[in-house]
Amino acid sequence: MDTTTAFSFDEFIAALPAERQLVATQAWQLVRQAVPMGYTEHVGPKYLEFRTGKDMYVGLANQKGYLSLHLVPMYLMPELQEQLAAAAPKLKMGKGCVNFNKTKELPLEALTALIAATPPADYAAKLQAVRTAARKKT
């Protein structure tokens, strides 16, 4: 795992409200352990993220009332969202994100499987296919 930073992970965590710092650290450690080799970790003022090239694969953001784990593969492949929803029916989700306040709200096994499921080359190919299809529609 490569890491590219605008500033450090510790600075990102320190900038969060105190009650979210441990939760964000635990969630990001889950991501770090699950993400396939080949993605690059980036730390910015708004997101922690893993990317392939300039494209986000998974990211963690602090929102006004919760933390949000952005799972782009779930957006690209709706069957992954369905699997996650089946594993945790009460989970607060959008098309490509999971919103939470405590790590105990997260279905850790299902999230780990989702994050680990797509190697960078497969993800890049899926992104390219989606972009190509979108251009053909316009």
Which class for 132: exposed (0-12), middle (13-18), buried (19 or more C-beta within 10 A)?
Answer: exposed
Residues 53-64 have a mean pLDDT of 94
Across the chain, mean pLDDT equals 91
Whether 107 contacts 87, CB under 8 Å: yes
Q: Please give the pLDDT value at position 45.
A: 83
Phi and psi at residue 44, to the nearest 5°: -130, -175
The yes-or-no verdict on residue 5 having pLDDT over 60 is no
Q: Please give the pLDDT value at position 2.
A: 53
More confidently predicted of 45 and 117: 117
Residues 92-98 have a mean pLDDT of 91
d(CA 54, CA 75): 17
Residues 73-96 have a mean pLDDT of 90
The yes-or-no verdict on residue 101 having pLDDT over 90 is yes
Helix axes 108-116, 18-34, angle to 10 degrees: 50
d(CA 87, CA 121): 27
d(CA 116, CA 33): 9
17-19-24 Cα angle (round to 5): 80
